[in-house]
C-alpha cells in the first residue's frame, strides 16, 4: 500500500527530528545523519519519493522553506560582530567568491566535461555554503568566535550571491548565443536584483517600525513576520528567479540591526522553525533522488571534480582573498577547508538543469548528479572533520563543559575554586568592580559588566560555558537572568540559588516554578545561608566514589548538615544537585559538597593526639 501524503508528511517530520536527536545524542554531524536517512527511505529502499508525491507543491514548499531559513540566519548578522573581522568577511564574500566562481567554472569544464556555458552557471552556484549546512556544523563543533563568525557570515551573505551569479551567467549565455543579441534581459536582471535588495530593506524597516509603534499585537508578531518573509521572497522571485533570496537576506539584516526588542524575543521561535524546516528539507531532497543519480556520482570525472573543488578551489579562493588581512594561518586553513554545500545548491541546480536543457544544452543532464556529488561528499567530509581539525588547529572551545556564574560573593568564589580544582572552565560575571575584588584576589577569571546588557553580548564570549548559575544577592535578578538565558543554554543547564523566603514560603512556592532556572541544592538553602555557612567554617570537600568506598558508605559517614553541590563524571560532565534533580553517583564520580568543619576538627584533634603520643614515647 502506497503511503498517503499525510502519512508521508508525518514520516518526514519524524525522521527529520529523529535524525537531529540521534546526531545530538551520539555527537554526530546532523546534516550527515539527515542525508543518510533520506537516502535510505528514498532511492535505496524506495519507500517514498517526495518530489513525485508532493507534485506541484514540492518546489514552492522547498523555496519558501529556504527563504525562511535564510531569513532566520540573517537575523543573527549584526554589524557589531564585524569588529576585527569585517575586512576578511568582505574580501571572502567578494574577491573570494569571484575567484571561486572562475576556478570552479574551469574545473567544471576541464574535469567534469561540461560545456563553457553550463560550467559558468554551475561555477557561480557552487560558491554557496549557506545556513542550512553551516549552522548545524557550528552548533556541533564549538569553534572559537572568529572562525565561527566568518563561516556564519560567509554562509548567509554568499548564499544569495551564488544564486544570483548563476542567474547572471545564464543571462550572459543567452545574450551571447542569441541570433539577435539584446541587452534588455541583462538590464532587467540588474534592475530586479537592485529592486530585491531595496524591497527587502523596506520590508525590514516597515516591520521594525510597526513593532516599535505598537501597531501589531504580541500574539500576531510571529505570524506577521512569517507572512512578510514569504511576501518578501515571492514578489522579487516572480520577477527574476533567485532574487527572492537576496530580498529576504536584506530584510533579515535590516531587522537584526534596528535594535527592535520584539525581534530578539522572536529569534528563538525562528530558530526552532528553522531547525524543523532544515530537517524536513534534507530528508525530502535526498529522498527524491534517483538511484541512477547515486551511482553516477562515482564516475571518475565526478569524483575528480569534487576532489578539486574541496582540496584546490576552496583553499585557493580563501588564501588568495585574505592576503593582507589579520587572519592567522590556522584560521585560513580551517575556513579554507570548511565549505559544505546544501539546500540552495540542490534546489537552484535542479531549476537550471531544466532551463538549460530547454535552451539546448544537453550536458545539463549532469547537473543534478554533479550537485549531489558535491553536496554529499562535502557534507560527509566537513561534517566529520570540523571538530578534529578545529582541535588540531587550536580553534576549538572543546574541553570540559564550563560554568558561568553571575554574581560575585564569597560563596561563588569558593564554588569557582572547586571547579578550577577539577580543571573545569569557570568565570564570574558581575557589574560591581568592588564585588569582583574577591574573584581578583582568588585568581578566578572574571568579566566586569552587566550580563543583560547588549555591550556584554557583543564583547563577552559565552561559547566555552555550558552551564549558567545565577547566584547574586538579588533573587529577582537571578530569576531574570535564568529566564533570559534559558533558551540559549537549555532548561536543564540554567540554575539559580534558592529564592524562597522562609517568611513567605507558601507564596514563593507558587511563584518560583513559573520562572526559568532550576533551584540549586535545596529550597531552604538561600544565598544568605550559604555565606553564613562559610563564616561558620564550613568547607568544600571532593569525595571520589570507588568500589572500596561506595556511595552508601559515603551516605552513612556524611554529616547531616552536608549539602551536595554537584558531581563530576569521569567524562568531565557536571551534574548539579537541585531540588527536583538529584543524580545518583556511580563508581568513578567525584561528589563536591559543602560540609560542617567537624571532620576537619576531628582530623586536627587526631594529629594533636598523635603528636602528643609520639612526644611521650620519645621522653620515655
Model confidence band, residue 610 (pLDDT cutoffs 50, 70, 90)? low
156, 131 contact by CB (below 8 A): yes
Q: Which of 50-59, 377-386, 500-509 comes out lowest in average pLDDT?
A: 500-509
CATH class (in words) of the domain with range 402-605 = alpha beta
Dump pLDDT digits (tens) for 175-186. Answer: 777 666 667 777
CA 158 to chain centre: 18
Can you tell me the distance from the alpha carbon of 127 to that of 236, in angstroms, rounded to the nearest whole number? 22
Dump pLDDT digits (tens) for 485-496. Answer: 877 777 778 888
151, 338 contact by CB (below 8 A): yes
Q: Residue 236 has which C-alpha cell?
A: 522579487
Can you tell me the distance from the alpha carbon of 503 to that of 176, in angstroms, rounded to the nearest whole number? 84
Where helices occur in 40-96 by DSSP H, the ranges are: 50-54, 58-74, 86-91
Q: Angle formed by the axes of helices 184-213 and 145-177, to 10°?
A: 140
What value does the CA radius of gyration of the chain take, rounded to a whole number of Å? 29
> Can you give the pLDDT at residue 271?
66
Can you tell me the distance from the alpha carbon of 144 to that of 461, in angstroms, rounded to the nearest whole number? 9
Average pLDDT over residues 484-512: 66
439, 413 contact by CB (below 8 A): yes
> Can you give the pLDDT at residue 516?
62
Task: Tell me which residue of 18, 11, 33, 47 sits closest to 384, measured CA to CA.
Answer: 33
Residue 63's contacts (CB-CB under 8 Å, 6 or more residues apart) are 233, 237, 244, 347
Residue 517 clears pLDDT 90, i.e. is over it: no
Task: Tell me which residue of 428, 401, 407, 399 sits closest to 416, measured CA to CA.
Answer: 428
Residue 620 clears pLDDT 80, i.e. is over it: no
Output phi, psi for 593, to 5 deg: -140, 165
Model confidence band, residue 540 (pLDDT cutoffs 50, 70, 90)? confident
Q: Which of 25-39, 278-292, 425-439, 593-607 comes out lowest in average pLDDT?
A: 593-607
Can you tell me the distance from the alpha carbon of 604 to that of 222, in angstroms, rounded to the nearest whole number? 64
Residue 286 clears pLDDT 90, i.e. is over it: no
Q: Which of 52-66, 426-440, 452-466 comes out lowest in average pLDDT?
A: 452-466
576, 565 contact by CB (below 8 A): yes
Residue 156's contacts (CB-CB under 8 Å, 6 or more residues apart) are 70, 73, 74, 76, 77, 130, 131, 134, 249
β-bridge partners, 496? 470, 519
What's the residue count for the chain? Answer: 620
Can you tell me the distance from the alpha carbon of 504 to that of 516, in angstroms, rounded to the nearest whole number? 20
Domain with CATH 3.40.50.720 in the chain: 402-605
Output phi, psi for 587, to 5 deg: -60, 130
Can you tell me the distance from the alpha carbon of 208 to that of 261, in angstroms, rounded to the nearest whole number? 9
Residue 1 clears pLDDT 60, i.e. is over it: no
Q: Provide the pairing of β-strand 539-544 with 465-470.
A: unpaired
Q: Provide the pairing of β-strand 465-470 with 402-406.
A: parallel
Task: Tell me which residue of 588, 523, 599, 526 sits closest to 562, measured CA to CA.
Answer: 599
β-bridge partners, 428? 405, 446
Q: Which of 32-46, 77-91, 233-247, 274-288 comes out lowest in average pLDDT?
A: 77-91
Model confidence band, residue 316 (pLDDT cutoffs 50, 70, 90)? very high
Query: Higher pLDDT residue, 611 or 462?
Result: 462
Can you tell me the distance from the alpha carbon of 245 to that of 183, in angstroms, rounded to the nearest whole number? 24
Model confidence band, residue 270 (pLDDT cutoffs 50, 70, 90)? low
Q: How many CB atoms lie within 10 A of CB 618?
A: 7
Output phi, psi for 280, to 5 deg: -65, -45
Residue 352 clears pLDDT 80, i.e. is over it: no
Q: Residue 504 has which C-alpha cell?
A: 513567605
Where helices occur in 460-535 by DSSP H, the ranges are: 475-489, 505-511, 527-535
> Can you give the pLDDT at residue 361?
81
> Can you give the pLDDT at residue 319?
92
Q: Which of 7-16, 23-32, 534-543 comes out lowest in average pLDDT?
A: 23-32
Can you tell me the distance from the alpha carbon of 527 to that of 530, in angstroms, rounded to the nearest whole number? 5
Domain with CATH 1.20.1530.20 in the chain: 5-392
160, 246 contact by CB (below 8 A): yes
Q: What is the share, in percent, of the chain residues with pLDDT greater than 70? A: 85
> Can you give the pLDDT at residue 231?
92
Average pLDDT over residues 100-106: 92
Query: Higher pLDDT residue, 397 or 492?
Result: 492
Can you tell me the distance from the alpha carbon of 484 to that of 131, in angstroms, rounded to the nearest whole number? 25
274, 73 contact by CB (below 8 A): yes
Where helices occur in 322-466 by DSSP H, the ranges are: 329-337, 343-358, 367-392, 410-421, 437-442, 454-459
CATH class (in words) of the domain with range 5-392 = mainly alpha
Can you tell me the distance from the alpha carbon of 261 to that of 270, in angstroms, rounded to the nearest whole number? 14
Residue 57 per-residue DSSP state: G
Query: Side-chain half-sphere of 420: how many Cα atoms within 13 Å?
Result: 15
Where helices occur in 288-366 by DSSP H, the ranges are: 291-296, 300-308, 314-321, 329-337, 343-358
Task: Tell me which residue of 34, 7, 57, 25 sits closest to 278, measured CA to CA.
Answer: 34
Task: Tell me which residue of 146, 250, 45 sits closest to 463, measured CA to CA.
Answer: 146
Alpha-carbon separation of residue 362 from 181, 367, 491 (angstroms) = 22, 10, 55
> Can you give the pLDDT at residue 503?
46
> Can you give the pLDDT at residue 399?
59
Alpha-carbon separation of residue 258 from 77, 212, 264, 520 (angstroms) = 11, 10, 11, 37
411, 531 contact by CB (below 8 A): yes
Can you tell me the distance from the alpha carbon of 22 to that of 32, in angstroms, rounded to the nearest whole number? 11
Residue 272 clears pLDDT 80, i.e. is over it: no
Amino acid at each position: 500500500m502506497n503511503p498517503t501524503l499525510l502519512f508521508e508528511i508525518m514520516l518526514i517530520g519524524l525522521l527529520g527530528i529523529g535524525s537531529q536527536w540521534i546526531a545530538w545524542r551520539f555527537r554526530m554531524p546532523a546534516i550527515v545523519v539527515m542525508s543518510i536517512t533520506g537516502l535510505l527511505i528514498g532511492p535505496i529502499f524506495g519507500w517514498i519519493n517526495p518530489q513525485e508525491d508532493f507534485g506541484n507543491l514540492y518546489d514552492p514548499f522547498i523555496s519558501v522553506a529556504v527563504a525562511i531559513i535564510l531569513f532566520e540566519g540573517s537575523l543573527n548578522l549584526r554589524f557589531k560582530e564585524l569588529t576585527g573581522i569585517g575586512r576578511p568577511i568582505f574580501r571572502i564574500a567578494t574577491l573570494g567568491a569571484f575567484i571561486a566562481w572562475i576556478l570552479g567554472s574551469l574545473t567544471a569544464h576541464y574535469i567534469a566535461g561540461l560545456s563553457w556555458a553550463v560550467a559558468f552557471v554551475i561555477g557561480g552556484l557552487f560558491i554557496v555554503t549557506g545556513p542550512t549546512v553551516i549552522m548545524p556544523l557550528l552548533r556541533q563543533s564549538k569553534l572559537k568566535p572568529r572562525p565561527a563568525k566568518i563561516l556564519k557570515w560567509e554562509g548567509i551573505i554568499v548564499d544569495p550571491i551564488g544564486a544570483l551569479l548563476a542567474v547572471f551567467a545564464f543571462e550572459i549565455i543567452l545574450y551571447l548565443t542569441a541570433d539577435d543579441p539584446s541587452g534588455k534581459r541583462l538590464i532587467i536582471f540588474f534592475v530586479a536584483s537592485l529592486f530585491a535588495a531595496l524591497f527587502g530593506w523596506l520590508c525590514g524597516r516597515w516591520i521594525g517600525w510597526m513593532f516599535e509603534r505598537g501597531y501589531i499585537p504580541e500574539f500576531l508578531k510571529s505570524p506577521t513576520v512569517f507572512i512578510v518573509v514569504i511576501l518578501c521572497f515571492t514578489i522579487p522571485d516572480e520577477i527574476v528567479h533567485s532574487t527572492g533570496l537576496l530580498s529576504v537576506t536584506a530584510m533579515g539584516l535590516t531587522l537584526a540591526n534596528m535594535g527592535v526588542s520584539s525581534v530578539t524575543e522572536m529569534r528563538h521561535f525562528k530558530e526552532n522553525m528553522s531547525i524543523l524546516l532544515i530537517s524536513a528539507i534534507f530528508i525530502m531532497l535526498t529522498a527524491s533522488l534517483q538511484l541512477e543519480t547515486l551511482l553516477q556520482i562515482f564516475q571518475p570525472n565526478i569524483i575528480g571534480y569534487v576532489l578539486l573543488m574541496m582540496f584546490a578551489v576552496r583553499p585557493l579562493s580563501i588564501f588568495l582573498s585574505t592576503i593582507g588581512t589579520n587572519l592567522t594561518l590556522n584560521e585560513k586553513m580551517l575556513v579554507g577547508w570548511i565549505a559544505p554545500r546544501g539546500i540552495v545548491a540542490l534546489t537552484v541546480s535542479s531549476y537550471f538543469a531544466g532551463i538549460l536543457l530547454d535552451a539546448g544544452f544537453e550536458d545539463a543532464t549532469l547537473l543534478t548528479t554533479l550537485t549531489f556529488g558535491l553536496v554529499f561528499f562535502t557534507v560527509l567530509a566537513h561534517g566529520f572533520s570540523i571538530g578534529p581539525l578545529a582541535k588540531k588547529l587550536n580553534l576549538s572551545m572543546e574541553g570540559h563543559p564550563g560554568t558561568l556564574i553571575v554574581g560575585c560573593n564569597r560563596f561563588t568564589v569558593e564554588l569557582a575554586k572547586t571547579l578550577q580544582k577539577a580543571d573545569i572552565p569557570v568565570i564570574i560575571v558581575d557589574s560591581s568592580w568592588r564585588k569582583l575584588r574577591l574573584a581578583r584576589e582568588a585568581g578566578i577569571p572574571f568579566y566586569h559588566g552587566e550580563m543583560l546588557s547588549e555591550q556584554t553580548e557583543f564583547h563577552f564570549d559565552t561559547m566555552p560555558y555550558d552551564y549558567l548559575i545565577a547566584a547574586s544577592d538579588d533573587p529577582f535578578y537571578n530569576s531574570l537572568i535564568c529566564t533570559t538565558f534559558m533558551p540559549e543554554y537549555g532548561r536543564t543547564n540554567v540554575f539559580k540559588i534558592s529564592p524562597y523566603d522562609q517568611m513567605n514560603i507558601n507564596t514563593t512556592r507558587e511563584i518560583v516554578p513559573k520562572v526559568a532556572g532550576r533551584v540549586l541544592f535545596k529550597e531552604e538553602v538561600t544565598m544568605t545561608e550559604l555565606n553564613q555557612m562559610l563564616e561558620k567554617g564550613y568547607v568544600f570537600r571532593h569525595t571520589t566514589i570507588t568500589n572500596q568506598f561506595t556511595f552508601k558508605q559515603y551516605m552513612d559517614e556524611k554529616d547531616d548538615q552536608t549539602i551536595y553541590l554537584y558531581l563530576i563524571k569521569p567524562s568531565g560532565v557536571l551534574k548539579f544537585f537541585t531540588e527536583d534533580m538529584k543524580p545518583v553517583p556511580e563508581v568513578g564520580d567525584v561528589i563536591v559538597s559543602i560540609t560542617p568543619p567537624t571532620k576537619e576538627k576531628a582530623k586536627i584533634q587526631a594529629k594533636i593526639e598523635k603528636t602528643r603520643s609520639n612526644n611521650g614515647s620519645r621522653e620515655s
